[in-house]
């Protein structure tokens, strides 16, 4: 869905009517904080997933290395 200048203008007028001129900066600040927290939580989940994958790979490598060394001893 593509928004043109008329649609964006109408949305801004409706927001201005609903929240008023006085609360508009507060609403903008709250929206900014919410977006920052959302991005931070997504980044944290991505890092946690990457760490768990690395841990799983490392734990899989150890048994393979042990099997390889055990087979060479016999």
Tokens for 53? 């994958």
Length of the chain: 74
Nearest Cα neighbor of 28 from 49, 4, 46, 12 is: 12
3-state secondary structure of 61: helix
- Identify the helix (H) or strand (E) that includes residue 47: helix 5-73
Distance CA 24, CA 29 (A): 9
Task: Give the single-character DSSP code of 74.
Answer: -
The model's pLDDT over 45-65, given as tens digits with 9 standing for 90+, comes to 777 777 777 676 666 665 555
So what's the pLDDT on residue 69? 59
Mean pLDDT of successive 10-residue stretches along the chain, which has 74 residues: 89 88 87 92 78 69 57 58
So what's the pLDDT on residue 7? 94
So what's the pLDDT on residue 65? 53
So what's the pLDDT on residue 35? 92
């Amino acid at each position: 869905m593509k928004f043109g200048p008329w649609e964006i203008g109408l949305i801004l007028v409706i927001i201005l009517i609903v929240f008023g001129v006085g609360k508009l900066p507060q609403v903008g600040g709250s929206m900014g904080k919410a977006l920052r927290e959302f991005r931070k939580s997504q980044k944290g989940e991505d890092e946690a997933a990457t760490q768990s994958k690395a841990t799983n790979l490392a734990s899989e490598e150890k048994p393979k290395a042990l099997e390889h060394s055990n087979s060479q001893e016999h």
